[in-house]
């Protein structure tokens, strides 16, 4: 969709490619945009996966099928885990990398333990209570009205199998902080002031490993800046794209 250099967008856990709708409307006049439903989510629920690397391999198959060469890859949360894993395996295909409310690090021990508990809870009790807790963590408390019925419907209709596979893949993913240091492309770290999923000091440390990094904190948002403050999110994204374009 669109014309110009290629951008590829990867959504997060229990989301789908509609997360990027506003991004496409803003960017398709100057970029060719590709949004992908990760295996197990959205319109790709029939596609299975075993690991983050398995997902990045499937993403690369799509990139090759669409005859896309060099592109800029942006991933939100789980999509960011996939994006940095993709960068580790296929760096020659990337002109830039965006970690949107995401990290290159593996889970800390406490978070791994919590993921295991969540998997066991869902296996025993189903997903209703899981969704109630999960949805509350996505946005800052004062932005709860940003969670539209359509977004909530998408989240709540994620298959249980995909949720468990996703949690297991995130739990066992590789630490890619060294990958950041090996890349010569620009890397964006976009954070939310009230995002409880990642520690900002850890993100700063990751950025210090990069040859070229842009770090941007969006005030008063949680884990979904693209819906909590669309204007600020698009401004940060456009600045990064403009900077990346000047290098090419």
pLDDT score, position 4: 82
In a domain, 106, yes or no: yes
How many structural domains does the chain have? 1
pLDDT score, position 247: 82
Mean pLDDT, the chain, rounded, equals 95
In a domain, 234, yes or no: yes
pLDDT score, position 90: 98
What would the mean pLDDT of 85-103 be, rounded to a whole number? 98
Q: Cα(171)–Cα(165) distance, rounded to whole angstroms?
A: 10
pLDDT score, position 55: 98
In a domain, 39, yes or no: yes
In a domain, 242, yes or no: yes
In a domain, 27, yes or no: yes
pLDDT score, position 22: 87
In a domain, 11, yes or no: yes
Domain hosting 62: range is 6-246
Share of the chain above pLDDT 90, in %: 93
pTM: 0.96
What would the mean pLDDT of 100-111 be, rounded to a whole number? 97
In a domain, 55, yes or no: yes
What would the mean pLDDT of 198-207 be, rounded to a whole number? 96
What would the mean pLDDT of 14-41 be, rounded to a whole number? 94
In 3D space, the residue among 69, 50, 49 whose CA is nearest the CA of residue 7 turns out to be: 69
pLDDT at 246 over 90: no
pLDDT score, position 1: 60
What would the mean pLDDT of 77-90 be, rounded to a whole number? 98
pLDDT score, position 34: 95
pLDDT at 2 over 80: no
Quick: pLDDT tens for 42-71. Answer: 999 999 999 999 999 999 999 999 999 999
Q: Cα(219)–Cα(42) distance, rounded to whole angstroms?
A: 29
What would the mean pLDDT of 110-134 be, rounded to a whole number? 96
**Which CATH number goes with the domain that contains 71?**
3.40.50.1820
In a domain, 1, yes or no: no
pLDDT score, position 197: 95
What would the mean pLDDT of 143-155 be, rounded to a whole number? 95
Q: Which residues contact 74 (CB under 8 A, 6 or more apart)?
A: 7, 8, 9, 10, 83, 97, 98, 100, 188, 237
pLDDT score, position 245: 86
């Amino acid at each position: 969709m669109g014309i110009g250099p290629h951008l590829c967008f990867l959504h997060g856990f229990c989301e789908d490619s509609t997360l990027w709708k506003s991004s496409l409307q803003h960017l398709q006049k100057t970029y060719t945009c590709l949004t992908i439903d990760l295996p197990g989510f959205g319109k790709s629920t029939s596609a299975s996966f075993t690991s983050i690397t398995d997902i990045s391999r499937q993403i690369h198959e799509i990139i090759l099928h669409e005859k896309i060469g060099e592109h800029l890859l942006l991933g939100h949360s789980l999509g960011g885990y996939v994006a940095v894993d993709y960068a580790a395996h296929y760096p020659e295909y990337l002109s830039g990398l965006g970690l949107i409310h995401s990290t290159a690090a593996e889970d800390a021990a406490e978070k791994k333990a919590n993921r295991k508990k969540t998997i066991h809870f869902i296996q025993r009790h189903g997903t209703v209570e899981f969704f109630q807790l999960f949805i509350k963590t996505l946005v800052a408390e004062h932005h709860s009205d940003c969670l539209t019925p359509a977004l909530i419907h998408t989240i709540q209709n994620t298959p249980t199998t995909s949720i468990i596979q996703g949690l297991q893949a995130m739990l066992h993913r590789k630490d890619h902080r060294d990958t950041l240091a090996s890349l010569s492309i620009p890397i964006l770290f976009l954070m939310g002031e009230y995002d409880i999923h990642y520690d900002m000091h850890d993100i700063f440390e990751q950025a210090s490993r990069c040859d070229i990094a842009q770090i941007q904190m969006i005030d008063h948002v949680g884990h979904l800046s693209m819906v909590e403050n669309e204007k600020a999110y698009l401004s940060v994204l456009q600045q990064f794209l403009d900077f990346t374009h000047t290098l090419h």
